[in-house]
Structure 1
Amino acid sequence: MTDTEAKQHSILLVDDEASIFEVIEGLLYREGYQLSYVSSGREALDRIDEIEPDVILLDLMMPEMDGIETCQQIKANQRWCHIPIIMVTALSSKEDLARCLEAGADDFLAKPVNSLELRARVRSMLRIKLQYDALAATQRLRTLNLFNAFAT
């Protein structure tokens, strides 16, 4: 069993339209991910520690706090900045893509969401997250070993 198969990956969808969750859930059903849904950027920020997502699918256009601001706040937080964010939006201009990437998004997905593209992009972001987690674990181990070497 590989690391990818050993852990059920958590995907957080942030979108003000609940029907989008049903679409994403249907498209990712066979992948076995733990899917969570919140309807606003504020709710995402409030629940991210509880949900502990491996990947965030974030709608760009939402009332109150849009996806750009939500993305910026997630990426500015030391505990969350390593979580890959895929911006999901009906907008598709180069300017929109640039704004998403400048805000810290790791990838971009246009609505209507294509099933193959969604699965491929989520898998790609999960690989990045697994590499980050492995690197962080190695760094913690090295720090611990260094600390123990000085303690003895």
Structure 2
Amino acid sequence: MSIEPVLAPHKVVPLFTLPDKHGQPQNLARQRGREHWALLILGPDLDPRPYLERLAGEIGAWRGMPARGIVVVPDAEQAGALSGLPFSVLIDADERVRRRFLPPEARAGVFVLDRYGTLYHQWLVGNAAELPAPGEISAWLDAISMQCSV
């Protein structure tokens, strides 16, 4: 099943401010120009930890690009369950960000963005088994890094 994207490639995505698990607001617009991003937006009925544990193995390579992983979850409980992983975890309690990035039929999405927030690639999935291989995300970040030296 193909899911029709909400966001167009090669356009700047809507940047946002969301709280982290400590309630501190994190503003992505303030991070512009610093690092490329792998942005994961997850729905309430997915257990992302097994996938994120596999993806965490790629983080060492991302630092040399430089790039970082940002995970958006629907509630504090899910954010707490991701403690100890090398990602920034933000809470989208009102699903405002989820609605702007994901079509209704998508349960999760992975978005690869350059340091200015331009969308290069996205995966929209109906279940966790359809999430992209960690190496695919790294390959996209690497390609962006080669084009946009920081």
Task: Give TM class, smaller chain.
Answer: 0.3 to 0.5
> Under a length normalisation based on structure 2, what TM-score does the superposition of the two structures give?
0.35
> Under a length normalisation based on structure 1, what TM-score does the superposition of the two structures give?
0.35
More helix by share: 1
The structure having more radius of gyration, on CA atoms, is: 1
Whose RCO is larger (CA < 8 A, sep 6+)? 2
More strand by share: 2
